[in-house]
Amino acid sequence: MADVSIAVCPGSFDPITLGHLDVVTRAAALFDQVVVGVAVNTGKRPLLDGPTRVRLAEKAVAGLPNVRVERVPGLLVDFCREIGATALVKGLRNGADYDGELPMALMNRHLTGVETVFLPADRAVIHIASSLVKDVARYGGEIDDLVPDGVADAVRAALAERTSGAGGETR
Ligand code: PNS
């Protein structure tokens, strides 16, 4: 297909939040197709398993016709090449985000030339981070208005399962 712009919104999505959804929605207005890439961050041990993160992301973007969700099994740049994506889109909330994202953006461009587009976080969701959502939920706080439908229940269920048995995640 000629001249179709494809961008990937990559992340751990553990879980997807309203902040992520804002970035994906804005990316969908800039590119013909957007793929939410649920990837592995070797620095984190997720609370939610891969299929759950994908399912929750799919539900969240169901109303966006030019957005789909896929697992990214390995290197993000390989995935971009496979699907013909020429850009990555990430949200930035603050300087710490920028410090974390800049080396990845430069490495990805070094590897294959794929560019990263940074979108400033919307003020309405700038305080939302997956790690904080999990922390608030862990101590019984209200997270339903921070995440898309269905996510809060899945987080609470995963935390309950963790508490009753297996190991713990890291951020
Ligand atoms: O939501 P996160 O955890 O900040 O997202 C980071 C993520 C998953 C996008 C990053 O770790 C990644 O790209 N992982 C895939 C493997 C890869 O390509 N690593 C090299 C990055 S320069």
**131 given a catalytic annotation:** no
- Let me know if 134 is a catalytic residue: no
pLDDT for 169: 56
What's the predicted TM-score (pTM) here? 0.95
For residue 7, the model assigns a pLDDT of 98
List 81, 93, 156, 171, catalytic entry = 93
**Rounded Cα–Cα distance for residues 171 and 152 (Å):** 18
From 8, 9, 12, 109, mutation site for ligand 1 pocket: most ligand atoms within 8 A of C-beta: 12
Q: State the pLDDT at residue 142.
A: 98
- State the Cα–Cα distance between residues 8 and 79, nearest whole angstrom: 9
Q: What angle do CA 53, 47, 26 make, to 5 degrees?
A: 40
